[in-house]
Every structure is written in C-alpha cells, then in structure tokens.
Structure 1
C-alpha cells in the first residue's frame, strides 16, 4: 500500500519534499495558508488545500491523524510551527517530522513530542563546508556529534593498493562500507580489493579518525 504523507508549509523545504514524495508515488496532502503556493503544487500533490494548520478543528476535518507521516515544514514562524506540532501530537499522529530554525526551537519541539526534528539549512551548511574544504570529500552525512559517513575520492596515494594493504580499519579506526566505481557499487568489499584512482569510498568512522585518514591517504593532488 502507498503511504500517506501530509506536508504542512510549502516553502523551498516543504515544496521539495512534496515533489520528491510525489515522484516516489506516495499519496501527498499539501497544506499551506498561501493560495498561490497551493496552486503551484495542486498538480504535483495528490491533494492540495489552503488551510491553517494551527487550528485544531481544521486538522480534524482533514483527517490528519489518519496519515502515516506528517512533515511540518513551516518557515520562519516558529510559533506556528510549535502550535501545529502540538496539535498533531494531541491528535495522535503516528510520525511527525518538524523543521527547526534553531537549537531552542528544536528543544521545544522535542519536549512537546515531535518524533524527529531536522535542521536542513544547518545540515546542508555542514555538508557544503566539508565539500569546499577538501576536494576529496564528495559528500558528508553526520550520524552524531562524533561519527559520520563520508564519500572520499581515491587519488594517486591509494591507487593500486588493496584494502588489506592500506589497513584502514587498524590504522585509522574507519570502515569502508562500499566502493563506487563508475556505475558499479561494491558493498562490503573484500580485503583483497585493489583501489583505483577515481574510486569513491564510502567510509564510516569517528570524525577525528576520518580527518586523519583523509589527510594521510586522500589529501593529494594527483
């Protein structure tokens, strides 16, 4: 069965989520107070309605508690974001994801019962910062304050060497989860797998260990 999603707030973040869910064939209810935004997504979402999500009766009339997942993507109005989240929690929505503007906003959302809080601007900023600092870091995903997954581009320093020869786990405390080579992805590569220039290594580990690995083996101009 298709999952049913509701997206509240159709700014850049909410709108992109609405489009991505629709492309995956999900049923999406798009909600916003701005009629122009609703008109923009009327042909993308399964249903699109002009509504005030801070009103308890409005949410009940939309049957919001019957949705599998509700995403609160309200922009700069923190008060509306918090009030909407509270209404959703009180109505017993199964899964609520909310966009936070700052750490204080996140603390309040967690206290009132949001199931997941995201910081899209902050997280994207972190990813871009890692990308611009090093040409070898292609992508970055923060798992916690100390652990991350990164994509590292193999250069001349590792070309022709096998995973066991590099001994990355023992020397740097990192694990190679997969290797991308062109259109091919090798998940859990064998120890005798030889790396090639241009390979993309998906590595998991502590941030400090990943930094040591990058500086030692991937910080080259070849």
Structure 2
C-alpha cells in the first residue's frame, strides 16, 4: 500500500509548455503532484516561472541535456511538443532510452502517433481529435459530458430521458430496453448516489450512464 502511494506521489516531467503542456502541468500541480517542466524557449520559461514550481530551460532533443536535469530519475514523463513532429519523436525516444517507465506523448495525427508507438512510447494522446469527438457529442444532444474508452465503451453525464422521469430504475429498465446502465443519479442540492433498483429519477436530475457509444447516443436522443 505504501509503495503504491509513493508511486502516485512521485514527480512528473513535462516537456514543452505550449497550451497542452501548461494546462497539463497546472492540473498536475492542482492535484498535488510535483512537476518539473522543461522548455527550450526562454520566453516561455520566464512566463511560467511564477506559475509552475520548477521550470528549466533546456533542449530535450539532446539526450545529454535530459541527463543533466535528471530525467532518468523520473518514472513518468509527458512530451507536450506537437508542432514539430521531429522534435516530438526525438524527445520521446530520448526519454525511452533513458529508461523512463511511463512516457506519454501528444500526437497531432495518426502517422505521428504510429511513429511514437514504434519507438517505444508507452502512451499516445490525441488531444485535438479527442476534444473534437467529445464536443460533437455534447453539441448534438442531451449529453453534458462524454468520456470514451476502448472498444466503443463510454460513460456520459446527461439529463434523464422523459421515459425515466418520475420513475425508479427498476420501472424504467434502461439496461433491458436501451442496452445501457444508469450508474448514478445527482439531484439538485443533494449528493451523488449510486443507482439502485428503487432509485427515483426526477426531471431535474443529472444521471451518469455507461454503455456502447451507439446505444448511448440513441438513449440520449430519446431525451
């Protein structure tokens, strides 16, 4: 248990302070993580020196520069560089060669992502694509939030469809009728509760639903 807690509290190396990198670094810090940010452009280093606890000016495409800042001592590193595929790949392969256990990297397209995976990058992120998919679901229906996982499985936050309003989960039978599971219900002014067969769903509630993406879309369209 102690080892797991120690792993969660280990610092994270973030390379590149563009919009993605700075948002990531700030969120990690907000979650109580210690972050070392590395940026090659002096202006960005100066800009965020007061916002981030540890910011260093270095060229991460140079493996010796990474060694000098102790990159090989990190378990997790994120490559936020996306505008230059060459730089992104060089930084990622340097981190892999240094033995960083978990290297995350931003990819701007599938080809970029394929290269990153081929060189040994452990996790590839497509922030623009993922944001576009999420936004499409939010603007086209009743969904308030949308998180997709592998194999077309997703969890969504949404307003309850009319045939759920004023009824219990057992009366609505969302799994049998729609192929989705109502995981929880949040009523205004009340705490979130895990859905039980006798949980009543009111018109003003927010519900958390899981299931196949296509079935969730049909379920949301019935709202």
TM class, shorter-chain normalised? Answer: over 0.9
Question: Alignment partner of 1:70: what SS?
Answer: strand
* C-alpha distance in structure 2 between counterparts of 1:198 and 1:105, whole Å: 44
**Structure 2 residue 122 is matched with structure 1 residue 120:** no
In the TM superposition, what are the counterparts of 1:38-117 in structure 2 within 5 Å?
38-117=45-124
Q: What is the number of residues matched between the two proteins?
A: 215
Contact 1:155 1:198 survives alignment (8 Å): no
Match of 1:162 among 156, 165, 168: 168
Alignment correspondent of 2:13:
6
| SS of match in other structure, 1:101 | coil
- TM-align CA RMSD: 1.4
Residue pair 1:163, 1:193 contacting (<8 A) in 2 also: yes
Q: Structure 1 pair 60/8, CA: closer, same or farther in 2 (3 Å)?
A: same
Q: What residue in structure 1 maps to residue 182 of structure 2? A: 176
Matched, 1:192 2:206: no
- TM-score, length-normalised on structure 1? 0.92
Runs of 4+ in 1 over 6 A off after TM superposition: none
Q: 1:59: Cα distance to partner?
A: 0.5
Structure 1 match to 2:3 = none
How many Å apart are 1:116 and its aligned residue? 0.8
User: Does the Cα contact within 8 Å between 1:141 and 1:148 map onto a contact in 2?
Assistant: yes
How far apart in 1 are the matches of 2:174 and 2:163?
Answer: 13
Give structure 2 stretches of 5+ with no counterpart: 1-5
Corresponding residue number in structure 2 for 1:201: 207
CA distance in 2, matches of 1:175, 1:165: 14
